[in-house]
Chains A and B, each alone.
Chain A
Amino acid sequence: MKLKEIAHLRTGDKGNACNICVIPYDEKDYPLIKERLTAERVAEYYQDICRGTVTRYEIDTLCAVNFVLTKALGGGVTRSLCQDRHGKSLGMALAEMEL
């Protein structure tokens, strides 16, 4: 099962860091996401992109998790050589991960 079948995501940027929040369509899937979608797995998945660390924040009242990837945007929106300087497309990659 791919993550996109049970959850939706939104991606944002702050300096050279990217944050990706993951929200299950059905709150019943929140424990599964917490169990399987660890910071370690996300760091491994983005190994070509994230040069820093991955931290996961859990927001239980929303049944959502938020990942912060540091040094992930090629220097940040103002100096990145990437086509996607904000990293706005990065969450859609995580949606394709096999859970």
Chain B
Amino acid sequence: MKKIRIGCGSGGCSYERLEPAIELVEKGNIDYLIFECLAERTIAEAQRKKIDDPETGYNPMLEERMRIFLPLMKKHGFKIVSNMGAANTPAAIRKILSIAREEGITGLKIASVIGDDITKMLPMYADMPLWDSTQPLSTLEHITSANVYLGADAITEALDQGADIVITGRIADPSLFVGPILHEFHWDYSERDKIGQALLVGHMMECCAQLTGGYYADPGYKDVPDLHRLGHPIAQIDEEANVLFTKPEGSGGMVCVDICKEQLLYEIGDPTYYITPDAIADFGHVCFRQAGKDVVIASGATSHPATDTYKVNISYLDGFIGVGEISFGGTNARNRAVLAADTIQKRWQIIGITPQEYRIDYIGHNSLYGDTISEHIHQGSFSEIRLRIAVRTKTRSDASRLIREVQCMYINGPAGSAGIECTVKPVLAVENILVPKTDVNYHICWEEI
């Protein structure tokens, strides 16, 4: 029976470890290597870089990766699918071509998927409601980017036409995996269970090492072997949609049922209704079974027909956040930190600037959970406390002026203050809307080397 193996070389961040991806290629016997590199805000940040330099805006590790993996592709015969194009897929392709020339690599077809950027179309959607508020899109000022989460179709199409490398911008994370699966097995979306299993592969794999022991280790409770050599995951899927998850032999970490359960429910709301552009995944009856060391069989996923809309990620400038931190030591540390916080707030009144919103936290005591839970967990006294003050303001100068009161604490504050660190940054916030799929036209561009 025909089966394919898909490895994941990167999970949802601009930066990722390189060694496990090389290990996937050399020891994992994979047909596809996927690099998923886009968090929610990545494109917005890349878009800003592109304004300064039109040849940037793609993934910062693209060049390093291509120098390693282009030669390995020729040696091992796998294909690469990735959203490393970020905000500038054409520039990413130009960079790949120049690296190929320098390295003397030939005989590869490179496809790029263009069309996720719909910033110019936004005026059409002024009345569209935003997800995280009741307001319409028109209430957002200073929009910097708008990108549709495209689906697997574009990738399948590119692979069907012979692509060895497919580079995209914004695309739904699971779709990076569903694309190659549909190319290999030609399933129709009406085959609900098979599509469900394909989406299961995509969802489980998209966070990479979170399936092999990353984000899991908890000494004494959940021990993970050789976390420092954590391997990256491999999904194997056959033409009957039988799925198993594993990792390269000899790598660190582990693949077990408990990790699979955690990852299935990671960033999921209703597990029976997980909306992707390809279909609505239904993971409500998924089962995992340990079939050997570091081998888990996954079954029971299904799907419902896709919606007729795409999710759009919209970034906009939303004022400034200033953060100031300062540490105190000794058994009276908490009282001195509280005195510092009170003093700073009184000085804000003296200078006459009020933040739109602010938070005062005591790192080491309540910065993660607030007072009620922290007091429930906490036992005994503190040996050190770090005061953290965060403010939201409309202007950079207001944030700087408020946070300056933290910067002045060494000389003007309580005894024994230490380690002052302050930052003021513009806020690049993200919102989402839905747009009709029929409004969005992607296309594929080709290069051959």
B376 and A96 form a contact (CB under 8 A):
yes
B270 contact set on A, CB distance < 8 A = 57, 68
5 A-B pairs with C-beta separation under 8 A: A8-B262, A19-B265, A76-B429, A78-B428, A81-B391
From A15, A21, A45, B262 is in contact (CB under 8 Å) with: A21
A21 and B370 form a contact (CB under 8 A):
no
Complex: A82 Cα to B430 Cα, angstroms: 16
A62 and B264 form a contact (CB under 8 A):
yes
Q: Which residues, 247 to 301 on B, are CB-close (under 8 Å) to A?
A: 258, 261-272, 283-288, 300
A38 contact set on B, CB distance < 8 A = none
Instruction: Decide yes or no: A10 and B40 within 8 Å by CB, A84-B368, A93-B377 being known contacts.
Output: no
Instruction: Decide yes or no: A10 and B266 within 8 Å by CB, A48-B372, A81-B321, A93-B373 being known contacts.
Output: yes
**Which among B24-32, B78-86, B358-366, B415-423 touches the partner chain?**
B358-366
A66 and B357 form a contact (CB under 8 A):
no
Complex: A48 Cα to B361 Cα, angstroms: 13
A49 interface residue per 8 A CB criterion: yes
Nearest chain B residue, comparing its CB with the CB of A68: B269
Complex: A55 Cα to B272 Cα, angstroms: 14
B261 and A62 form a contact (CB under 8 A):
yes
Q: Which residues, 368 to 405 on B, are CB-close (under 8 Å) to A?
A: 368-373, 376-377, 388, 390-392
Give me the 7 closest cross-chain CB pairs, A-B, nearest first. Answer: A48-B370, A12-B267, A21-B265, A10-B262, A81-B390, A79-B429, A81-B359
Q: How many residues does chain A have at the interface if contact means C-beta atoms less than 8 Å apart?
A: 41
User: Chain A 6-49, CB within 8 Å of chain B: the 1/0 string?
Assistant: 00111011111101010101000000000000000000011111
B410 interface residue per 8 A CB criterion: no
User: Chain A 44-81, CB within 8 Å of chain B: the 1/0 string?
Assistant: 01111100000101010110101010000011111101
A17 and B376 form a contact (CB under 8 A):
no
Measured between C-beta atoms, what is the minimum distance from B347 to chain A in Å? 19
Instruction: Decide yes or no: A78 and B262 within 8 Å by CB, A45-B373, A66-B271 being known contacts.
Output: no
Complex: A44 Cα to B264 Cα, angstroms: 26
Measured between C-beta atoms, what is the minimum distance from B146 to chain A in Å? 15
A14 contact set on B, CB distance < 8 A = 267, 269
Question: Main secondary structure on chain B at its contact with chain A?
Answer: mixed
A49 and B269 form a contact (CB under 8 A):
no
A90 contact set on B, CB distance < 8 A = 368-369
B429 and A19 form a contact (CB under 8 A):
no
Residues in B lying within 8 Å of A, measured CB to CB: 40-41, 131-132, 215-216, 218, 221-222, 258, 261-272, 283-288, 300, 315, 318, 321, 357-359, 361, 363, 367-373, 376-377, 388, 390-392, 427-430, 432
B377 and A8 form a contact (CB under 8 A):
no
A16 and B368 form a contact (CB under 8 A):
no
Measured between C-beta atoms, what is the minimum distance from A23 to chain B in Å? 5
A84 contact set on B, CB distance < 8 A = 367-368
Complex: A62 Cα to B299 Cα, angstroms: 11
B268 and A48 form a contact (CB under 8 A):
no
Nearest chain A residue, comparing its CB with the CB of B318: A79
Measured between C-beta atoms, what is the minimum distance from A15 to chain B in Å? 5
Measured between C-beta atoms, what is the minimum distance from A53 to chain B in Å? 12
Instruction: Decide yes or no: A78 and B265 within 8 Å by CB, A8-B258, A61-B285, A96-B377 being known contacts.
Output: no
B131 and A15 form a contact (CB under 8 A):
yes
Complex: A47 Cα to B33 Cα, angstroms: 43
Complex: A47 Cα to B370 Cα, angstroms: 9
A83 and B357 form a contact (CB under 8 A):
no
A10 and B218 form a contact (CB under 8 A):
no
From B218, B284, B318, B392, A81 is in contact (CB under 8 Å) with: B392
Measured between C-beta atoms, what is the minimum distance from B323 to chain A in Å? 8
Nearest chain A residue, comparing its CB with the CB of B266: A12
Instruction: Decide yes or no: A23 and B300 within 8 Å by CB, A8-B218, A48-B371, A62-B286 being known contacts.
Output: no
